[in-house]
Amino acid sequence: MRKTRKKVVSIALCCAMLASITACGGNNSDPTTTAGTTPASTTTSSGGSSNETTTAPQQTTSDVVKPDSLRIVHDGTILTEGLAEFGKQISELVGVNYVLDQQDHSAYADAVGRVFASGDWPDVILLPAGLYATYATTGALWDMTDAYEQWKTELGDRLVSNVNDGLKINGRLYGFAPTRGNGCITYVKQAWLDAVGIQAPTNWDEYYNMLKLFTENDPDGDGTNNTYGVSAAGIIGQEAPYTNFLPEFYQQAYPDFVQGDDGIWYDGFDTEEMVAALERLQSAYQAKYLDPESLTDGTKDVRNKFYDDKFGAFTYWAGTWNQNIINNLEAQGLSTDLVLLDPIDGLEQYIERQSAMWCITTACQNPEGAFEYFIKPMLDDGDVQFRYTYGAKGFHWDDKAETVVVGEGDGATSTDYQDGEFHMMTNQETKTLFTKNHLDPALTVAPLSHAPQSQTDAAVESNEFFIANSKLAPFLPSSDVLNDYNGDLWELKRKVITEVVVNGNDVATWMDHYRTNSAQMVEEVLADLNK
């Protein structure tokens, strides 16, 4: 018999009903960042044009009631630097006070859990695909199917990707993805390959040898052996697709429930592919070819190490991030010659993650208003979408006459712009140019028709390379049984990974530990998925 378990989400739902928590248009929360105050008209550029016009807050032809305020929980995919400026401009354009509550990007899955468990739910929340499926089945998310279908008709030919149709659960949609998911590819420093005298690897043995040489030699040329072959934000990811930061190690292993070609679901963690992945990870970690701090480092930590020349192979996002990496290496005075590594034998393809979803919670008392005045403006093909794409005018970009300086000291470069000429501005923390905001122009499901700045050659090349060498991550359907057991299962999986990879213990012993302690849960989950 299936045992009774308390779920964090269920507790939060009860708290919501008992406490009558925050509703759209009126909350007293103390968010991390308050974006905007009183909605008002603002002077903006029309999509980056040099002609300044006074633009009233966005209006709608529908009879949906406009909320006064919306509290929005999100991660670092909305720019951290200049968040207040961005929020103020968006609030003024839409005519609704957006209260932007930004959570730690590196530990966002944990932050989401705390938000729902607290009972103090926001009106809108950004959820990774795995969490989207979980919370949708608990009644935590508003069903936006009808609103989306009507809007899809309004978008017409502007809608270039129907990714959201594939994200429905039992035919219903509980969130909206404004972009495709994108994914990670492996970048290798050509200067380091040259320093150790090898070509880019094509198989596991060559890849492992590259890591060994990067670690045991002096590829950065500073006279000391203080480098690693590879580093990552976590030995395994916090969210699907889990393996994307160390794909050469995991190869065909996928640590979640997977549907086979025969249509039957199985436990992807309890496979020979996972055993082989754990052995590869253990070998590299114990030899310190894999940076030991990968266990605890966040994405920003790892990026900074790559820019500081601490390791030579870096698996990170394709597209705009290729240009970001180049900009940051250049700012450090390092070579920007990067190899886009073809998937090695055994890996075959990189993984495209399922898109993150903007969801309206059932705590929002005006969900139609949240859809009309938060979801839809994001793709308005006007000033709002422009800012979701490029950021705040005067902070992330501008079109006034000025000189923009990139870098510092002898490595600094400057570019003069004329009045009316669109340009990105310099991030004063990194001394590199900002490149985009939340919406990647190459991935947006309804792109701007008047985008002023095309992607750089590096970003285009990276995007095309990823599309040609990737497959979509498995999408796990909703399951009440899985929701019950998922936390305990992942606790077991992470325990095995820590004991094997970090502590160097026997793989077979700890896989037996997993099978013994997960057997009942896995049996019930598979019975539910395969019914």
The pLDDT tens digits for 14-67 are 333 333 333 343 333 333 333 332 233 333 333 343 333 334 444 445 689 999
In Å, what is the CA distance from 88 to each residue of 33, 40, 56, 149? 11, 10, 14, 30
Instruction: Tell me the pLDDT band of 435, cut-offs 50, 70 and 90.
Output: confident
CA 311 distance to own-chain centroid: 23
- Tell me which of 4 and 399 has the higher pLDDT: 399
Residue that wins the pLDDT comparison between 240 and 371 = 371
Residue 453's pLDDT is 64
pLDDT reported for residue 48: 40
Q: pLDDT, tens digit, for every residue of 173-197?
A: 999 999 988 999 999 999 999 999 9
Q: Which of 26-30, 337-341, 434-438 has the highest mean pLDDT?
A: 337-341
pLDDT band at residue 81, thresholds of 50, 70 and 90?
A: very high
Length of the chain: 531
CA distance linking residue 283 with residue 313, whole number of Å: 17
Which one-letter amino acid corresponds to residue 457?
Answer: D
Q: What is the pLDDT of residue 256?
A: 95
Q: What confidence score (pLDDT) does residue 129 get?
A: 80
By CB neighbour count within 10 A (0-12 exposed, 13-18 middle, 19+ buried), where does 88 fall? buried
More confident of the two residues 4 and 428: 428
**Would strands 42-45 and 124-127 be described as parallel, antiparallel, or unpaired?**
unpaired
Average the pLDDT over 445-466 and give the result.
87
Q: What is the mean pLDDT of residues 371-390?
A: 97
Mean pLDDT for the stretch of residues 475-494:
88
Give the three-class secondary structure for 436. coil
Mean of pLDDT values over 382-406: 96
**How large a percentage of the chain has pLDDT more than 70?**
88
The reported pLDDT for the residue numbered 62 is: 60
What's the pLDDT band for 530 if we cut at 50, 70, 90? very high
Look over the chain and give the mean of its residue pLDDT values, rounded to a whole number.
87
pLDDT (tens digit per residue) in 135-148? 988 899 999 999 99
* Cβ atoms 424, 396 nearer than 8 A: yes
Asked if pLDDT for residue 413 goes beyond 50, the answer is yes
Tokens (6 digits) for 175: 């969130």
- Does 10 have pLDDT greater than 60? no
Using alpha carbons, list the distances in angstroms from residue 299 to 93, 113, 254, 338: 32, 20, 21, 19
Task: Answer yes or no: is pLDDT of 433 > 50.
Answer: yes
364 or 62: which leads in pLDDT: 364
254-285 pLDDT, tens per residue? 999 999 989 899 999 999 999 999 999 999 99
